[in-house]
Amino acid sequence: MMEKEKLRKADAFSGSIMFLFGLWIISQALKMPMKDSWGGVQDVWFVSPALFPLFVGAMIMLLGLLLIRTAVKSVGLKELWRVFRQLMGPDLLRYLESAENWRFYAIVILFFSYVYLDIPRVDFFICSVLFLLVFISMFYFDDDVLLKKMLFFYAGGTLFFILYFAFGLPAVVEPVLPYASDWLTLVFIFIYCIFIWKSVRRRAELRKKYRLCLVLALAIPFLIGPVFKYFLLVPMPKEGLVVNVLDALWYSVF
């Protein structure tokens, strides 16, 4: 019972952070155009690139509110205020290292890297596969120790790409190797898959989840992306290696 009560107290603070983070995502998404013209054709609001981050931000806010509501119903506002005053002391560090917050750190790093690092610079299909692969594996495996390992591994790869783009290396490499950023991301995906496989291969239940994770990460972008690209005629945020291959296949057939 005490363990459950501690979790509910932590939920109140995790929920508050999630709510603020979702609100920030929505504020940034509202800066994107809801309507635009492409080739002389006026796009309508329901094909706006802002819809996905708006949806994600709203869902994160809703989940944060649900966590806060559950915590308040379980322990009451008075007890939550007492915990808040305690956290202003040495207990703050222990709280920040809790398993619940590691999940939150993972969400923040994943979305920041996906939205601000990958989408503007890497082929949309490739970076979406990477995002889904990491996101699903981190949370579907339901293993806090494994989540930390995956988060540190992904954060290391993200730091490499930050430095790669910050020093302007794409301009140096791409004249020699076209779509160099896309190829590097594919290599990172491959290395991440090997890393995860080595971490779960001795556990039968995780091997099954790993296979499903791969299927979903590959299938979802290639089921949804072509609908927007070729039927709704919405350009991808970054069209690189995969989009050019799909264009060649699509226009050779149709």
Domain housing 79 = 1-97
Q: Is residue 103 part of a domain?
A: no
**What's residue 91's pLDDT?**
60
If one counts the domains in the chain, the total is: 2
Q: Are 13 and 95 in contact (CB under 8 A)?
A: yes
The verdict on 118 and 218 lying in the same domain is: yes
* Range of 86-95, 121-130, 135-144 with top mean pLDDT: 121-130
Is the pLDDT confidence value at 21 over 80? yes
Residue with tokens 């706006």: 48
- Give this prediction's pTM: 0.67
The verdict on 77 and 120 lying in the same domain is: no
The verdict on 84 and 12 lying in the same domain is: yes
Q: Is residue 173 part of a domain?
A: yes
The verdict on 136 and 21 lying in the same domain is: no
Per-residue pLDDT reduced to its tens digit, 191-201: 999 999 999 99
The verdict on 156 and 228 lying in the same domain is: yes
Rounded to 10°, the helix 124-140/180-200 angle is 20
Domain final position from 78, 97, 116: 97
Got the DSSP string for 13-78? HHHHHHHHHHHHHHHHHTTS-SS-EETTEEPPGGG-TTHHHHHHHHHHHHHHHHHHHHHHHHH-HH
The verdict on 141 and 73 lying in the same domain is: no
Domain final position from 97, 116, 135: 97
Q: Are 158 and 115 in contact (CB under 8 A)?
A: no
CA distance 121 to 97: 32
Q: Are 53 and 22 in contact (CB under 8 A)?
A: no
CA distance 71 to 7: 8
Least confident span in 59-68, 73-82, 149-158, 165-174? 73-82
